Amino acid sequence: MPAPIRNAMTVDVEDYFQVSAFANTIARSSWEQQPCRIERNMDTILALFEEHGIRATFFTLGWIAERYPQLVRRIVAQGHELASHGYGHLRASDQDHVQFAQDVGRSKMILEDLGGQPVRGYRAPSFSIGRDNLWALDVLQETGYLYSSSIYPVQHDHYGLPDAPRFAWRPSGSGGLLEVPVSTVRLGRKNFPAGGGGFFRFYPYALSRWLLRQVNQRDGQSAIFYFHPWELDPHQPRQHGISTKTRFRHYVNLHRTEDRLKALASDFQWDRMDRIYLGTS
């Protein structure tokens, strides 16, 4: 019997007040005054991963790393991969070439200094690399990254490049940089999100499990799953003045996420992105 396929478990390390959906509600200048929840939520995640023997990839904001250096060191000490989520959760699509290079270079330097290991991977906030800023992949290559997980091949109102490849690929002109998209399942003529985030909270768990199994069994590929620390935190401060759609997307089923992650940990084999796609030890 062939060995089970190893899937990539990934975490986008940011706090609840840093999400793009709250950008017009919570001023960036007020971040320092917001009650932080990242340490409490990361404690839960790291304990869950340790219990299930999971080694994962943590796409971490430089802003978080600077303020919680002990958290970065814990990630590394427990055998996880440290990767970049940019510095301050600025969407790649809202930056020009120079700004983006400064952002991803600054984040890489901070994380490497604190973690003491090379930072090889990057994920753009809100999957904000798409058709209009594919040049960002060249910048990632130039600043020393080996892979990206920033292009989501789905149709969405805030991100997505539906006709991009569904599995790991090397964009032309990016100097060999590997792009590894979050998982989708092809049903008819459409790609359906299968790799976590808000969809993991919205879907019944049985549907998420079925979709991931399609990636493993039908496509014969590793699945890429992601979530955020705040998605395990139903007691986070509630925001006012947001739209009904934003409220639903952010808060739906937060109280179910931890139990669903425990089930996911048992139902599939998981590993770090760099081990699966770069062959690192």
Question: Please, are residues 121 and 86 in contact by the beta-carbon 8 Å criterion?
Answer: no
Residue 95 lies in a domain: yes
Domain count along the chain: 1
Flag whether 128 is in a domain.
yes
Domain membership flag for residue 31: yes
Is 47 domain-assigned? yes
- Convert the pLDDT of each residue in 101-113 to its tens digit: 999 999 999 999 9
Asked, for residue 1, whether it belongs to a domain, the answer is no
Q: State the chain's mean pLDDT as an integer.
A: 95
Question: Percentage of the chain surpassing pLDDT 90?
Answer: 92
Residue 138 lies in a domain: yes
d(CA 236, CA 264) in angstroms, rounded, equals 23
Residue corresponding to tokens 């002109």: 173
- Report which DSSP code applies to 1: -
198 in a domain, yes or no?
yes
CATH code of 23's domain: 3.20.20.370
Query: What range defines the domain where residue 164 resides?
Result: 6-277
Name residue 226's beta-bridge partners: 10, 196
Q: Which of 4-18, 33-47, 170-184 has the lowest mean pLDDT?
A: 170-184
Q: Beta strands 190-193 and 184-187: pairing type?
A: antiparallel
Per the domain annotation, does 152 fall within a domain? Answer: yes
Please determine, for residue 201, whether its predicted confidence score (pLDDT) is greater than 70.
yes
